[in-house]
Chains A and B, each alone.
Chain A
Amino acid sequence: MSITVKLKYLGVIAEETGKAEETLELESNSADVASLKERCYETYSISDRDSIQVAVNHQMGKVGALKDGDEVAFLPPFCGG
């Protein structure tokens, strides 16, 4: 069984991944936030992994299993003013 999740990359992350969003198919039994992050960091050269926050379905700080149709946003801090 596989599930489909939609990833959104914000700020500088979109430049580092070369895209603002993408859709991924994941194995449903191993799909969680931590492994998705890991997969993303293996695929792309992300400069500031430690301060990135992840929102699942518009809720920040969600951890654990992902389900079909989830939307996952990768958000870096920015400081311009």
Chain B
Amino acid sequence: MNFFSEEFFKEPFSLSKNDKENYIVTSSNALSKHHYNKCPEYRRIIESLFDDKVDADDLPSIPFIPVQIFKNFDLLSIKKDQISRTMTSSGTSGQAVSRIFLDKKTAFNQSKILNKIVCDFIGSERLPFYVIDAESVISDRKSFSARGAGILGFSRFGKGREFILDDDMEISIKRLEEICLANKNKKILFFGFTFMIWQHLLLPLQKLNKKFSFKNAVVIHGGGWKKLNDLEVSNNHFKKVFKEFLGINNVYNYYGMVEQTGSIFFECEFGNIHTSNFSEVIIRDPISFEELPHGESGLIQLISLLPESYPGHSILSEDMGAIVGEDDCKCGRNGKYFEIYGRVKNAEIRGCSDTYQNT
């Protein structure tokens, strides 16, 4: 038995406001209860911070845990011998990484739902698949980085798989020309991480002023805008460069995190990022954590109905965003759609306990 309903499976963007709220609250309550009984750490948090109450009456009262906590503790709602795969977030070296533990069932559901969502945007036909990354990213099969997990997850939408960067993350123009020639006007799929694509494909092409025409190709990318925001590269500019240098119009960005693989949030043709039947977002005031009305910017709380093996079904992210609308996107998909403004800034706090090391 799953915590999401199979009946909403065929059409992953079918649920509208009232039905969805009911369904998300009920399903999420069941998940909260499951983790409360199976994961002692999760239970402690609910006891201390949420008055020991897992049964939410409405969306905003669904309890949440900070995304950071997966870096501090190994949180499991299964026995250790049931772990089939461990995923880690891609932290910069020296930083703690999140560790997410999957059993067979959760891993299966993740790929099933990912499939449903992605096919809704690019169709169900398997496409020649080109990864804008180096093969070394997936060399370790037991433990996956977010990058590796993403590549493997999306590989199922492809026929075959080719990594188009070498191990030094260099693009071969010659190979790109061959691919272009071999797939003349055919629908092919490029996949990669936003920053990697910019750094190792789009920047070199701009520098060399080398242009291609992949007219019917589709690009799917994710991983966040933190580094590109620092470089002042916007989503629009990113798309523009893709069009100008590779001739690609269909560039889809998705928002997701290793803590909630599968039920990702996809950007539609109209630039809106959509929740599906398997996910929900709640925007909270970044200080009081009170729910904010549509249009107001706050912290994004992410709900996914997939995490069973670890208590990650309701997470308070460190990203700021706002809900743009609900059930009325021109693309025809139901559910809330939202915008993301990026990670909250780190505050420097005062204090007398660091003199020497960090100066």
The answer on A and B forming one complex is no
